[in-house]
Amino acid sequence: MPIHIIDRRLNPGGKSLENRQRFLRRAKSLVQGAVKKTSQERDIKDVLEGGEVTIPLDGMHEPRFRRDGGTRDMVLPGNKKFIEGDYLQRSGQGSAKDSGPGEGDSEDAFRFVLSRDEFVDLFLDDLELPDLAKRKIAQTESEGIQRAGYTTSGSPSNISVGRTVRLALARRIALKRPRKDEIEELEAAIAACTDEDERVMLLAQLEKLKAKIKRIPFIDPLDIRFRRFETVPKPVAQAVMFCLMDVSGSMSEHMKDLAKRFYMLLYVFLKRRYKHVEIVFVRHTDRAEEVDEQTFFYGPASGGTLVSSALQAMHEIVRERFNPSDWNIYAAQASDGDNSYSDGELAGMLLTDKILPVCQFFAYLEVGESGGSAFDLSDSSLWTLYERLRNSGAPLSMRKVSERSEIFPVFHDLFQRRETAQEKAAP
């Protein structure tokens, strides 16, 4: 009897992937709730990690006709001391009672592991890029090169050997070009031939074949094919994210932490949409500098506050390194709102003339001390400035945050599908 042994290990995995997706789709609201809850407990830098979530099984229950109650009979192994007619206490001798089947109710909460992608997808599910940005993506396209079949003319470096030889072979077969072994066979026959007449005939035949070989070349110029390339428009799939932050003495650790969380979320969000995301950290006091992440968040600095310096720095970096036609530019500014009064004019001008026209999205996050409800009493100088700009039509998003738990809702607000801020901002 033949026995087949098959190695299935290399078969594509993930056969259950589709079922799993269906399950997630069905349990979407439940899972989403669980994801939000889980992510609140986590550090934002771990947000991307996926992980275990627990959902109530209620909506996912698969009912069956089950029975319970009534008198039960069971046969068990391991009798040590009972004799017929003994009675077992129900509560005390629980072990015997528990052993029945019917554990159907035990899975009312359902735990399972979400992959990183699933987690982030659900996490960001109801968020969308601002409309403005989407329009820009569609417009900013660059040329790319792509293979597009074969052509009869081209540069020698593009010869497609495989295709050429294949065509040559087909042509040779079609035109019945004699093969090498046919000639060898004939030559052997001539050498072995004794009859003179036949020999002459074979020789003639050989001549004919040789002539035919000459007439029909092995590779004809007709056979040659070149690989053809086409230029295709390619959407820009890279983004740069500018993190601007005021690091003057008035910014406390708490405020920086808030800002950091917001940047993290923005990063996660952009990472979902673009293949390649770069981050530029610009910190400023009364002058701005580009720094690495560590210095950005933790490096000591002191001085006054000139927002325009940061905007100027950003503008220069964009001009030097990030051509707006190649990059999607996002900027998020965090500050406690202090700014020199004299700087307002310059900052406003820089923003409206230089920065906003090249940006997909500019968010301003005003961070306050925890429990800072005093916040609402009077608007800071920067807030007043930006609000004025926004009211005159600049595409700016701005929010105030003072608690860690507010970060996510704020982020959510800014990127929600129906974006009120963007409606106002639409040019």
Partner 1 sequence: MTERLFEGADWDFRTLQRITDACEEVALKDLGLDVYPNQIEVITAEQMLDAYSSVGMPLFYKHWSFGKHFAYHEASYRKGLMGLAYEIVINSSPCISYLMEENTATMQTLVIAHAAFGHNHFFKNNYLFKQWTDADGILDYLDFAKTYVMQCEDRYGRVEVERTLDAAHALMSHGIDRYPGKKKLDLRAEEKRAGRRRQHEEEVFNDLWRTVPKGAAKSRTALSIERRRKLLGLPQENLLYFLEKSAPRLAPWQRELLRIVRHIAQYFYPQSQTKVMNEGTATYVHYRIMTKLHEQGRISDGNFLEFLGSHTNVVFQPEFDDPRFSGFNPYALGFAVMQDIERIVTRPEDEDREWFPDIAGKNDVMGVLRDVWANYRDESFIAQFLSPKLMRHFRMFHLHDDPEERAGIRVDAIHDERGFRRVRRELARQHDVGFIDANIEVVDVDLSGDRRLILHHHVIKGSQLNETDAKRVLQHLADLWTYDVALIEVDSNDKVMREYVVSPRPISAVA
Classify residue 53 as exposed, middle or buried by CB count within 10 Å of its CB (0-12, 13-18, 19+).
Answer: buried
Question: Which positions ≥6 away from 134 have C-beta within 8 Å?
Answer: none
Q: How far is the CB of 115 from partner 1 (least distance, A)?
A: 10
DSSP-derived secondary structure letter, 85: T
Distances (CA, A) of 186 to 5, 95, 208, 291: 49, 95, 12, 83
Two structure tokens written together for 408: 């996510």
> Pick from 212, 207, 172, 215: which is nearest to 186 by CA?
207
Among 97, 199, 272, 424, binds partner 1 (CB under 8 A): 97
- In the complex with partner 1, which residue's Cβ is closer, 53 or 389? 53
Among 41, 65, 153, 294, binds partner 1 (CB under 8 A): 65
Q: Which residues pair with 95 in a beta bridge?
A: none
Among 21, 250, 370, 391, binds partner 1 (CB under 8 A): 21
Q: How many CA atoms lie within 13 A of 332 on its CB side?
A: 26
Q: Does 26 bind partner 1 (CB under 8 A)?
A: yes
Q: How far is the CB of 38 from partner 1 (least distance, A)?
A: 14
Question: Which positions ≥6 away from 123 have C-beta within 8 Å?
Answer: 35, 36, 39, 47, 268
Within 10 A of 39 (CB to CB), how many other CB atoms are there? 21
Q: Which of residues 153-192 bind partner 1 (CB under 8 A)?
A: none
Q: Does 24 bind partner 1 (CB under 8 A)?
A: yes
- Contacts with partner 1, 287-316, as mask; x by CB under 8 A: ------------------------------
Q: Does 22 bind partner 1 (CB under 8 A)?
A: yes
Stretch that binds partner 1, among 24-32, 37-45, 325-333, 373-381 (CB under 8 A): 24-32
Alpha-carbon span 251 to 255, nearest angstrom = 6
Among 85, 162, 300, 371, binds partner 1 (CB under 8 A): 85
Q: Does 87 bind partner 1 (CB under 8 A)?
A: yes
Stretch that binds partner 1, among 6-14, 123-131, 177-185, 254-262 (CB under 8 A): 6-14
- In the complex with partner 1, which residue's Cβ is closer, 31 or 363? 31
DSSP-derived secondary structure letter, 80: S
Alpha-carbon span 164 to 320, nearest angstrom = 47
Stretch that binds partner 1, among 23-31, 195-203, 232-240, 248-256 (CB under 8 A): 23-31
Stretch that binds partner 1, among 20-28, 256-264, 303-311, 380-388 (CB under 8 A): 20-28
Q: How far is the CB of 63 from partner 1 (least distance, A)?
A: 4
Stretch that binds partner 1, among 91-99, 270-278, 324-332, 375-383 (CB under 8 A): 91-99
Q: How many CA atoms lie within 13 A of 361 on its CB side?
A: 29
Q: How far is the CB of 51 from partner 1 (least distance, A)?
A: 11
Among 42, 45, 56, 77, binds partner 1 (CB under 8 A): 77
Q: How big is the site for partner 1, counted in residues (CB under 8 A)?
A: 66
The DSSP code sequence of 224-241 is --EEEEEEEEEE--EEEE
Q: Does 111 bind partner 1 (CB under 8 A)?
A: yes
Residue found by looking up tokens 């979407």 in the block: 28
Q: Does 112 bind partner 1 (CB under 8 A)?
A: yes
Q: How many CA atoms lie within 13 A of 298 on its CB side?
A: 2
Alpha-carbon span 160 to 217, nearest angstrom = 19
- In the complex with partner 1, which residue's Cβ is closer, 5 or 174? 5
Q: How far is the CB of 99 from partner 1 (least distance, A)?
A: 6
- In the complex with partner 1, which residue's Cβ is closer, 30 or 133? 30
- Calculate ∠ Cα 186-187-193, nearest 5°: 85
**Contacts with partner 1, residue ranges (CB under 8 A):** 1-9, 11, 13-16, 18-27, 52, 60-80, 82-90, 93, 95-97, 99, 101, 104, 110-113
